[in-house]
């Protein structure tokens, strides 16, 4: 690999990655999702349990329905309203970054979003449909949380606050000091709601869905955009930057929205609408040993390695690799900035992404069911769970591992030969 080309590539990518990593909106978005993650995983676990195979045969249809009804609140109170947790997290983190009262950042973000949300379901008024609080409402929720937190902090910085006399408990004082900033912020959102009610869109939701969410979701669900995202993740990792954090910060709202559509269809027993979802990337690419699908790389090392260095890296990395933590092999092999590794590192996940997409498109493998499987779940099991307890999900992961194994094998042999010769030379010299 030409070192001049590598330097030029590094000079282009590093500033971009640095800006993305330090962008406070992307940071708040990323951390907001992390706030919601434990609840999403909790809900997903009970969805998986509620749909375990053969239980209906064991306990009967009626008892099985009762069993599912009993577990239903776990997902209804978490997965079905995940947008709320993300909004709270973003508002909290946005104000926290500015050194403000972060809990009021979360509160004002949630209040602003609920003001914009239509409180009607069919002919019934005074109710909020859970669909507006799920991943379907994420786009509006994210923008609302950003703007509400910024407005709140703006009014705080302008000292538009009520100062209580000394002796008043600090919790009461903080509450009153947030009164005017929150009131001003929410009033602005109320005005926005009223203005939109006089437009052809009628609601802000309709406007966001028509102008932004629908086109972006259609783009994000396609194969070309997905492969570009996967390739960028790999490129950033090659230069030692956490590609998933950088790229997922931008694409997670789209992937989660697509995931939610599949989840709703899965719950209703309908045809799953999307191939590309959050779980498509997490389970069938990242979830096979971590970024770059390095579990198959470790297996190849065990098969061909003669050098002590490579064998030791394999032994040290396999334990964490089973649970999709692959920093030991990424930094130990090494893969980062290793010219011999760049071709398989970039190529394998892209090939796997395309193969998996077409396998699901023709019905060979099931589409992801929308269930969020914890990212540390070992391969094969994660494929089974993510496809709604379907063994073909595991088979698809097995095929993907074979693809990665095959692509990496010749490059690993070259690396191993180099390490082996170096070890022999060093041994003779000693």
Q: What is the DSSP string of 262-280?
A: HHHHHHTTPPP--SSSHHH
* Whether residue 315 sits in one domain with residue 202: no
* Whether residue 228 sits in one domain with residue 252: yes
DSSP 8-state symbol, 162? P
Q: Which of 220, 237, 272 is the last residue of a domain?
A: 220
* Whether residue 52 sits in one domain with residue 114: yes
* Whether residue 333 sits in one domain with residue 419: yes
Torsion angle of C-alpha atoms 319, 324, 328, 332, degrees rounded to 10: 110
Candidates 297, 289, 285, 334; CA nearest to 410 is 297
- Encoding tokens for residue 409? 């094998």
* Whether residue 178 sits in one domain with residue 31: yes
Q: Which of 220, 235, 268 is the last residue of a domain?
A: 220
* Whether residue 253 sits in one domain with residue 172: no
* Whether residue 171 sits in one domain with residue 243: no
* Whether residue 184 sits in one domain with residue 75: yes
* Whether residue 253 sits in one domain with residue 212: no
Give dist(CA 142, CA 296) in Å, integer. Answer: 37
Give dist(CA 405, CA 388) in Å, integer. Answer: 27
Q: How many other CB atoms are found less than 10 A from the CB of residue 397?
A: 29
Give dist(CA 267, CA 384) in Å, integer. Answer: 17
Give dist(CA 384, CA 92) in Å, integer. Answer: 35
> Tens digit of pLDDT per residue, the chain (430 long)?
456 666 666 677 667 766 766 788 888 887 888 888 788 878 878 887 887 767 777 888 888 889 888 988 988 898 888 889 999 999 999 999 888 889 999 999 999 999 999 888 777 888 888 878 877 788 889 899 999 999 999 999 988 877 777 777 777 777 888 899 999 999 999 999 999 999 988 888 888 878 877 777 777 778 998 999 899 888 888 876 777 777 777 788 888 888 888 988 988 888 999 999 988 988 998 889 888 899 999 999 999 999 998 999 899 889 888 988 888 888 788 887 788 888 999 999 999 999 999 999 999 999 999 888 877 889 999 999 999 889 999 999 999 999 999 999 999 998 899 889 888 888 887 7
* Whether residue 254 sits in one domain with residue 200: no
* Whether residue 226 sits in one domain with residue 150: no
* Whether residue 301 sits in one domain with residue 187: no
Q: Which of 190, 205, 220 is the last residue of a domain?
A: 220
Domain containing 235 equals 222-429
Regarding pTM above 0.85, the answer is: no
Query: Alpha helices, DSSP H only, in 323-380?
Result: 327-332, 342-361
**Looking at the 3D structure of the chain, how many domains does it have?**
2
Report which secondary-structure segment, H or E, holds 124. Answer: strand 124-125
């Amino acid at each position: 690999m030409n070192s001049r080309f590598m330097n030029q590539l590094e000079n282009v990518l590093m500033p971009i990655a640095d800006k993305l990593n330090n962008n406070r909106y992307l940071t708040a978005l990323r951390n907001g999702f992390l706030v919601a993650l434990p609840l999403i995983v909790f809900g997903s676990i009970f969805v998986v349990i509620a749909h375990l195979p053969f239980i209906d045969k064991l306990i009967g249809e009626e008892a099985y329905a009762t069993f599912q009804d009993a577990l239903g609140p776990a997902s209804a109170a978490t997965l079905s309203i995940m947008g709320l947790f993300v909004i709270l997290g973003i508002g909290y983190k946005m104000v926290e970054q500015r050194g403000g009262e972060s809990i009021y950042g979360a509160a004002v973000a949630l209040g602003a979003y609920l003001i914009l949300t239509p409180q009607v379901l069919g002919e019934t008024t005074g109710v909020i449909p859970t669909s507006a609080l799920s991943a379907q409402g994420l786009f509006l929720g994210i923008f609302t949380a950003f703007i509400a937190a910024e407005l709140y902090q703006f009014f705080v910085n302008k000292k538009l606050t009520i100062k209580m006399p000394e002796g008043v408990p600090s919790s009461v004082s903080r509450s009153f000091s947030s009164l005017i900033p929150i009131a001003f912020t929410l009033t602005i959102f109320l005005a926005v709601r009223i203005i939109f009610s006089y437009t052809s869109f009628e609601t802000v939701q309709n406007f966001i869905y028509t102008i932004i969410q629908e086109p972006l979701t259609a783009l994000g669900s396609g194969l070309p955009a997905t492969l570009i995202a996967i390739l960028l993740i790999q490129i950033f990792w090659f230069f030692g930057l956490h590609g998933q954090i950088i790229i997922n910060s931008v694409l997670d709202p789209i992937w989660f929205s697509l995931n939610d559509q599949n989840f709703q269809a899965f719950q209703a027993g309908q045809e799953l609408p999307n191939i590309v979802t959050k779980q498509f990337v997490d389970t069938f690419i990242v979830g096979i040993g971590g970024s770059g699908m390095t579990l198959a790389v470790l297996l190849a090392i065990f098969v061909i390695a003669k050098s002590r260095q490579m064998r030791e890296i394999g032994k040290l990395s396999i334990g964490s690799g089973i649970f999709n933590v692959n920093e030991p092999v990424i930094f130990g092999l090494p893969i980062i900035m290793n010219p011999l590794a760049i071709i398989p590192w970039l190529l394998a996940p892209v090939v796997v992404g395309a193969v998996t997409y077409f396998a699901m498109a023709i019905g060979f493998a099931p589409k992801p069911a929308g269930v969020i499987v914890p990212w540390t779940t070992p391969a094969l099991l994660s494929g089974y769970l993510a496809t709604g307890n379907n063994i073909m999900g595991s088979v698809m992961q097995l095929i993907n591992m074979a693809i990665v194994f095959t692509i990496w094998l010749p490059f690993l042999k070259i690396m191993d030969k180099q390490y082996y010769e170096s070890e022999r030379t060093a041994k003779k010299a000693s």
